[in-house]
Amino acid sequence: MGLTLEKLDKIVGQEVHLKDIDLHFEPGSRNVILGRTLAGKTSLLRILAGLDRPTRGRLLINGEDYTGVTVRKRSVAMVYQQFINYPSMTVYRNIASPLLLAKLDTAEIDRKVRQAAEMLHIEHLLDRLPAELSGGQQQRTAIARALVKDAQLLLLDEPLVNLDYKLREELRIELQAIFERRESIVVYTTTEPAEALMLGGNIVVMDEGRVLQTGATPDVYHHPGTLKVAEVFSDPPINYLQGAVSGGRASFGEGIQIPLSGHLADLTDGDYMFGLRCNHLFLARRNPDDIELSARVTLSEINGSETFIHIVHGQDGLVVQDEGIHPVKIGSALSVFVNPSRLFVYNGGGELVASPVQGRY
């Protein structure tokens, strides 16, 4: 049961928008599609909605072939990046519009509209026109209109990307609670790992029109199957240093050598890429076996509650996440520390060979 995509391709002219997509969404599941711009997220959503037809492959809903069925005949609601509302209608009429089309009776419409408006905290704005609302309120209206429909499939295409970050923060928390109460399949696209993690559920990591990895969101985060997944699913992208293993020792970066232990113990000799997430790098030694990397600062960025320090270690650029807000001088030298137990290891083909054990430090 649920929604299944089989061997789906979407090719426009010479350009491959989607390639070999095989996915399954359970009813009532929350699904996040994570990928950078042009990864094919929107193309996939459009096919799920029935706005576009795949070049190859099938789309099954509860086992029935829906590949060629248009959006009008499907039970779909969609929210876009842009705040799309009917400009000449009040917020109330905007939210009510799908119900009016479905010819529900007035009392029922009124009840549903007020319920959806309340859920999104816009019940005091029902008489206003979209132009009189702030960006956040406009998007709340668009979301309410999508929710009121009770569609089997609820699609959201980076709905928060055009909002101020404070509004984004609030709406994310609210959306999470709203999705939890719904029985429909929710598919939500985003470019931000933090947003994906927050929404939880299942994740589909995409890049260049292909699905790279699927699974429960936290699992994929902690065990990114390829270097590319680790890059897409870390913000800032995961740091990596080229290295090798020989004779029970791993060497990487600028002359760093460590004995193999813990999750690294089984590594065979050969060339590897060592991945380090920026929040596993620290400015002070925390354990006796921490590795020290000497580096120079190229920029410090302050993001909400943490400072991202961009550094250069040898030839490689790395980013360190420092909790709290601290001034760092550009050009100054410093040492950063990482524990070997936090290393991700990828082989020459970019596939994961070892990842840190969770909850152990």
Tokens of 320: 């360190």
Q: Which residues contact 245 (CB under 8 A, 6 or more apart)?
A: 251, 260, 267, 268, 269, 270, 272
Binding string, residues 198-227; x marks residues near another protein by CB under 8 A: x-x-----------------x--x------
Exposed/middle/buried for 25, CB within 10 Å: 0-12, 13-18, 19+?
Answer: buried
Check residue 327 for interaction with another protein (CB under 8 A).
Answer: yes
Nearest to 174 by CA among 109, 107, 117, 247: 117
Which phi and psi (to 5°) does residue 298 adopt? -110, -25
**Is 68 an interacting residue with respect to another protein (CB under 8 A)?**
yes
Contact between 317 and another protein by CB under 8 A: the answer reads no
Q: How many CB atoms neighbour CB 71 within 10 A?
A: 14
Between 59 and 96, name the residue whose CB sits nearer to another protein: 59
Contacting another protein (CB under 8 A), which of 122, 185, 278, 354?
A: 278
CA angle 114/118/121 to nearest 5° reads 135
Residue 313: alpha-carbon gap to chain centroid: 29
Told to check if 321 binds another protein by CB under 8 A, we report: yes
301 counts as binding another protein under rule CB under 8 A: yes
Q: Distance from CA of residue 38 to its chain's centroid?
A: 14
Of 113 and 229, the one with the shorter C-beta distance to another protein is: 229
Q: Are strands 76-79 and 153-157 parallel, antiparallel or unpaired?
A: parallel
Q: How far is the CB of 361 from another protein (least distance, A)?
A: 5
Task: Indicate which single residue of 7, 166, 249, 296 sits in contact with another protein (rule: CB under 8 A).
Answer: 166
82 interacts with another protein by CB under 8 A:
no
Phi, psi of 137 (to 5 degrees): -70, -35
Q: Verify binding: residue 127, another protein, rule CB under 8 A.
A: no
Tell me which stretch binds another protein (CB under 8 A): 143-151, 161-169, 207-215, 258-266. Answer: 161-169
Q: Which residue lies nearer to another protein by CB, 198 or 334?
A: 198
Chain residues in the site for another protein (CB under 8 A): 36-37, 53, 65, 68-70, 73, 134-135, 164-166, 169, 173, 176, 191, 193-194, 197-198, 200, 218, 221, 233-234, 277-280, 298-305, 310, 321, 323-327, 330, 359, 361
